[in-house]
Amino acid sequence: MIQIQGLSKHYMMGDAQVDALKSVDLTIETGEFVAIMGPSGSGKSTLMNVIGCLDKPTSGTYFMAEQEVASLDDDLLSSLRNQHIGFVFQSFHLLPRLSAKDNVLLPLRYRRTKAVDADDIHYAETLLERVGLLTRAHHRPNQLSGGQRQRVAIARALINRPEVLLADEPTGALDSKTSEEILALFKELNAAGQTIVLVTHEEEVARHAKRVIWMRDGQIDRIEAGASYAA
Ligand code: ADP
Ligand code: ADP
C-alpha cells in the first residue's frame, strides 16, 4: 500500500518558487489500478517521481512497503526503488545488444545478494510467457515490433516482483490498436493482483484504470471511476 500525506514539492527557478505539488493526500491500496491524469504542468511527473522513489518531496510523508520514504537517504531510496518498483517507459529502454530474455533478467544482474540462478531464468521465461512472448525470448529488440518491445519491458519491470508497476505514458509510442493490446495486458496483470500506477495525459488510456486521479495545478482536482469500469 502507498500512503501519501501532505506531500509538497517545490522547485526554485531563480528567485521564484514553483509549487509542483501542493499538499497532496493519496492512498493507493495493494491490487489497485490507478491512472494519474491531467494537463501538462499539473504535477503528474513530479508525483510519479516521488512515488517511484526517484525524487524526494520538499515536505510531507510517503509510506511504501511499510517504510517512510521521504526521510530516507539516497542509498536506501535507491534500494527501495530497486526492490519494490517496476518501471515502464514510453520509449521502452531496452538494451539493443541483449535478447528479450536477457533484457528481462537485467535488473537481477545488479542485485547484490545473489547471482542470477536457474530459478530466476525460469521466472523470466514465465514472465515472457505471461506477456505472450516466450517464442521471442532470443530475439533482440530490433527484431521485435513496438508492442512486443513494450511487452519485454513490462516483463522486465515485473522480474523483481514489485509492489508497484509504475508506467509513464507506456502507450505514447504505440499505434492505437497496439496501445489497446498493452492496456489489456495491464488489466490482466492487475486482475492477477499486480498494483499498477499509470501516468498519462490521454483520456483514452486513463479510462482503462479502475480509478482516475485528475491533477490540476499541483493538487488532486478529483478522483473518478475509470470509464471502462463505470456503471
Ligand atoms: P506534468 O508531468 O503534469 O506535466 P510536472 O510534474 O512535470 O507536470 O511539472 C509540474 C510543475 O513543476 C510545472 O510547473 C513544471 O514547470 C515544474 N517543474 C517540474 N520539474 C521542474 C524542475 N526540475 N525545475 C523547475 N520546475 C520544475
Ligand atoms: P535506447 O536507446 O533504446 O533507449 P539504450 O541503450 O540507450 O537504449 O539504453 C536504454 C536504457 O538502459 C537507458 O535508460 C540506460 O539508462 C540503461 N542502460 C544503458 N546502458 C546500460 C548498461 N550497461 N547496463 C544497464 N542499463 C543500461
| The predicted structure's pLDDT at residue 165 | 98
| The predicted structure's pLDDT at residue 5 | 97
List the domain range (segments joined by +) for residue 219: 31-54+74-225
In a domain, 10, yes or no: no
The response to whether residue 79 sits with its C-beta less than 6 Å from ligand 2 reads no
Beta strands in 171-218 (DSSP E): 196-199, 211-216
In a domain, 26, yes or no: no
The response to whether residue 96 sits with its C-beta less than 6 Å from ligand 2 reads yes
Name the burial class of residue 223, with classes exposed (0-12), middle (13-18) and buried (19+) by CB atoms within 10 angstroms of its CB. Answer: exposed
Q: How far apart (Å, rounded) are the C-alpha atoms in residues 56 and 16?
A: 20
Atom 11, ligand 1: which residue's CA is nearest?
20
| Residue 216 pLDDT greater than 60, yes or no | yes
Length of the chain: 231
Atom 25, ligand 2: which residue's CA is nearest?
106
Q: What percent of the chain has pLDDT over 70?
A: 99
Instruction: Tell how far the Cα of 105 is from the centroid of ligand 1, in angstroms.
Output: 33
Atom 13, ligand 1: which residue's CA is nearest?
41
| The predicted structure's pLDDT at residue 8 | 97
Per residue in 63-99, pLDDT (tens digit) is: 998 899 988 999 999 989 999 999 999 999 999 999 9
- For the chain, give the mean pLDDT: 94
| The predicted structure's pLDDT at residue 70 | 85
In a domain, 7, yes or no: no
Give the side-chain half-sphere CA count within 13 A for 8: 10
Per residue in 16-52, pLDDT (tens digit) is: 999 999 999 999 999 999 999 999 999 999 999 999 9
**CA 59 from chain center: how many Å?**
23
| The predicted structure's pLDDT at residue 230 | 57
**158 contacts: CB under 8 Å, gap ≥ 6:** 86, 127, 130, 165, 189, 194
In a domain, 165, yes or no: yes
Span 117-126, mean pLDDT?
Answer: 97
| The predicted structure's pLDDT at residue 226 | 84
In a domain, 18, yes or no: no
ipTM for the predicted complex: 0.68
In a domain, 96, yes or no: yes
Residue with grid cell 499498477, as numbered in its chain: 196
The answer to whether the CB of 5 falls within 8 A of the CB of 25 is yes
| CATH number reported for the structural domain that contains residue 46 in this entry | 3.40.50.300
In a domain, 231, yes or no: no
* Ligand whose nearest atom lies closest to the CA of 142: 2
Per residue in 136-174, pLDDT (tens digit) is: 999 999 999 999 999 999 999 999 999 999 999 999 999
Question: How are strands ordered across the β-sheet holding 85-89?
Answer: 85-89, 164-168, 196-199, 33-37, 211-216, 219-225
In a domain, 138, yes or no: yes
Tell me the three cell numbers of residue 135: 517464442
Number of domains comprising the chain: 1
Q: How far apart (Å, rounded) are the C-alpha atoms in residues 223 and 178?
A: 27
- Can you give the pTM of this predicted structure? 0.87
